[in-house]
Every structure is written in C-alpha cells, then in structure tokens.
Amino acid sequence: MENFKLSLIVLIFFISACSNDDEAEYFTKNFKINQFPQEWRLAKSVNGFSGEVSEWKELSTTQVYKFNKNQTFLKKVVIDQETYIGKGIYDLKEDNQGRLWFYLTFSNSGGTVESCLPERDKEHLYFNEESKELQGGSHECDGPALYFKRVK
C-alpha cells in the first residue's frame, strides 16, 4: 500500500510539473501544416529599433491565433487587460522558395492587425520550418518582429 501511495505521489508530481511550454513544444515538434484546428501563442517579440528580445513572460501583451479547418481564423490580443478580437479568412500558400505562409484577410480587425502592408486588413505570417515558429509583425517598418509557438 505504501508503494502505491508513493507511486501515486510521484505520478501527480510529474503530471503537475508539465507546463504549457512542454505542451507548446510537443505541438511544434509534431506540427503538420495541414492539421487543423491550430492555436498559436506569442512566444517572443524583437524590437525593430534596438533588436531587444522580450520573451512572452516579459511582455505586457498576449496574442493568440486560432486557425480553423474551414480557412477562418480568430486573432485575440490582450494589452493591459483590454481584449481585442479580429477575425477573417486565411490562405496557406507556398512561395517560390518553398516557404509556407499564412495570408490573412480580416473581415473585422478589431484593432489587431500588426503589419506594414498597404492593405490595412491583411497580415502575412511565415512558418519557419527549422524553428517551428510562425513569424510576423511589423519589423519591415521598424515595428516588432513577433514569434509564435503552436500550443494546440
């Protein structure tokens, strides 16, 4: 009976020790581009001017993309406890260099678009095959470069 209790305590410890980071790592390692739904969370931001890197725990904002099988998406941005929601459709395409891109078109941006594109209702997110991250942001116009990890 004591062995059972000890085993149970050890099992509970290991289960509780698993974090969201472990879950995110699992999903990014097992990533299949055509598996939906997908959920991506902001992992880090790189300042466009200084190059300073801020990990997600240091940021005052959170961002989440949810991509559905029917080519719709939802983007949720929380800044200082204010929540903004954007939604629309996406297209997943490969460029002439073999890189995969999510092309987003917002039907309702809700103030969430982070882009340098002239069309204020569009965002492009690049899937980095090596790091298994989505990369976006407004770094082309000195804004932040944003890196997202898959969590679902």
> pTM to 2 decimals?
0.77
Q: How many structural domains comprise the chain?
A: 1
Domain that holds residue 114: 21-150
Residue 9 lies in a domain: no
Residue 4 lies in a domain: no
3-state DSSP of 58-104: HCCEEEEEEECCCCEEEEEEEECCEEEEEEEEEEEEECCCCCEEEEE
| CATH number of residue 73's parent domain | 2.40.128
Residue 118 lies in a domain: yes
> In this prediction, what percent of the chain has a pLDDT beyond 90?
54
- Lowest average pLDDT, out of 4-8, 37-41, 88-92, 94-98, goes to 4-8
- pLDDT tens-digit profile of 115-141? 888 888 999 999 998 999 999 999 888
